[in-house]
Structures are given as structure tokens and as C-alpha cells.
Amino acid sequence: MKGEVVVKQNNPTSLLIVAAAMCAALYAIGCYVTAYVPSPWGFGQFRPAVVIPAFFGAIFGPFPAALGAAIGTLIADSTKHGTLYMGSLIAAVPGNFVGFYIFGYILKKKFSWARFISASLITLTVANLIVAFLYVFAFKVFYMQALALTTNALIYLSIGLTIWWFVTMLPFILLLTPPIIRVVAAAFPSLVSNDLRTHALKMEFPKLSFSLAMVTPGVIMLLIGIATTFTPFGEYTVTSFGETAASMIELMYYVSGALLFSIGIIVLATQKLLIHRISKA
């Protein structure tokens, strides 16, 4: 536009390489800390450390986040297993790379908190789908020949892993990453783009979008839990994975659904209370 000065942020290649290395190291440590907390199926790790590549993707763009996430997850998984872990190389590396490249790419074009929320939802969906299906079909079935399940059960397992990763990662990436971005933008303004700096240092945050991003998957999880309890879907889960695993899966749906729903409602109620107080002031 005429009369408007736009300063474009261009990080040098050396800085991007350093950022990728830092992302990989921190992500490897963060992943390893929770590496022994499995999903209800007995494999697939609890990963709150996704806040690390999400932070690097927002600050430095797609390349450091994607490369750091891919290398970091491989280091963590291989350290846990004591050797190069092929399951990570086949599934987690490509899934993390693609997912966090998308995340960084969305935010690099134009940063806003609404785009941050959208990027988080897209990344967690795409990345976890890739990891889950590659891990189950490419690694467990074809490489290891370790799962004697029907095709439908394998698809259910892949979707189940995707859901589990999504609902356990989403609160961390939405609750923890924004304040970290704000702190870094305030402390090191030269590292971030004008776009990010402008939005990060403002107090505005799309709480309605944030609430919906939590409430919607929360309701879906609760509905799946109800279906597991009261429909033949529950019997199919028991038949496919056994009673113990089926109970854990059912519990996962209810607990994750209630947690996501509650967080979303609390944020929305807090926003309405604040608006009410301002209007009465």
C-alpha cells in the first residue's frame, strides 16, 4: 500500500541451521522425558514436547522446525531403544517433518493468533495421521510383521493412535506455546518478523477460536466414548484389542473429551467475565 513501510524478516542460513540444531536437541530431550508413557495400545508415546518445534516454527519458520522435529524424534526414539529405531525412521521422522513444515509455512506467510490456532490443528492432524498409519502399516505390519489383525482393526488402530496423539498434544501446544513466543518476542525482537512481533506483544488473543478448538474435539471424544460404552462399537474394540486395552481406550475417550471440553469452557467463561467487568467499569 502507498506510504506503508513493510520490513521483511530474512534470517540468515547460519541462524536457521543453528535453530534447527537447537530444536532437535531440545525436542530429543523433551520427547525422551515422557518416552515411557505409552498410549492405551501399549505403543506410541506421550508427547507434550511438541511445544518445542511449534515454537521454532513460529519464530524461525518451516525449515528449522521440520528438520529439528524429524532429527529430535529419531534421537529420542533411538536412545530409548538403544539402537537406530526403524519405527521412528519409517514413521515418526516423515510425519514430524511434514507436519511442522506445514506449521512453520502457515505462520511464515502471515502471523496471527488465529492462524496459529489453525496451524496447530492442521499440523497435529496431518502429522499424527502420517505417523500412525506409517507406524502401523509400514513398520508394524510390513517391516516387523508383528500385528496379526484384520485390515479394519489396523485402520481403527491407526485412527485411534492419531486421536490419542492429537488430544494429548493439543492442550500443550495451545496453552504453552503462545506465552513462550511472547516472552521471546519481547526479549529478542530482532529474531522475529514485524508481523509476529506486532501480534505477540498485543494482549489480544482469539479466545472464542481457542475455546472452539478445545470444545469441538472434546465433544467428539465424549461422543466416541458413549458409542464405545453403549453400542456394538465397544464389543468390536474388545474383540480386536482385548478387554484391558479396550477399557483403557474407552477411558481415554472420556478423560480426554472431558479435559478438552472443560479447558475450552473455562477459557470462554473467563473471556465473558472479563468483558462483563469492562462493560460495567
- Give, for all 281 residues of the chain, the pLDDT tens digit: 444 434 445 668 888 999 999 999 999 999 999 999 999 888 889 999 999 999 999 999 999 999 999 999 999 999 999 999 999 999 999 999 999 999 999 998 888 899 999 999 999 999 999 999 999 999 999 999 988 888 999 999 999 999 999 999 999 999 999 999 999 988 888 888 887 888 776 656 777 888 899 999 999 999 999 999 999 989 999 998 889 989 999 999 999 999 999 999 988 887 655 444 434 54
At residue 276, φ and ψ (nearest 5 deg) are -65, -45
Read off the pLDDT of residues 55-75 as tens digits, 9 standing for 90 and up. 999 999 999 999 999 999 999
CA distances for 158 relative to 34, 93, 105, angstroms: 21, 17, 26
Residue spans of the domains in the chain: they are 13-203, 206-281
In Å, the largest CA–CA distance within the chain is 68
Separation of alpha carbons 84 and 114, rounded Å = 39
- Among 45, 60, 49, residue whose Cα is nearest residue 26: 49
Read off the pLDDT of residues 141-200 as tens digits, 9 standing for 90 and up. 999 998 888 899 999 999 999 999 999 999 999 999 999 999 998 888 888 888 788 877
**Residues 44 and 163 sit within 8 Å (Cβ to Cβ):** no
Give CB contacts under 8 A, 24+ apart, made by 27-34.
Answer: 27/52, 27/53, 27/68, 27/69, 27/72, 27/73, 27/76, 28/71, 28/72, 28/73, 28/75, 28/76, 28/79, 29/76, 30/72, 30/76, 31/72, 31/73, 31/76, 31/77, 32/76, 32/79, 32/80
**CB neighbours of 137 closer than 8 A, spacing ≥ 6?**
154, 158
The CATH classification of domain 13-203, taken from the options 1.20.120.1200, 1.10.3720.10, 3.40.50.2300, 1.10.1760.20: 1.10.1760.20
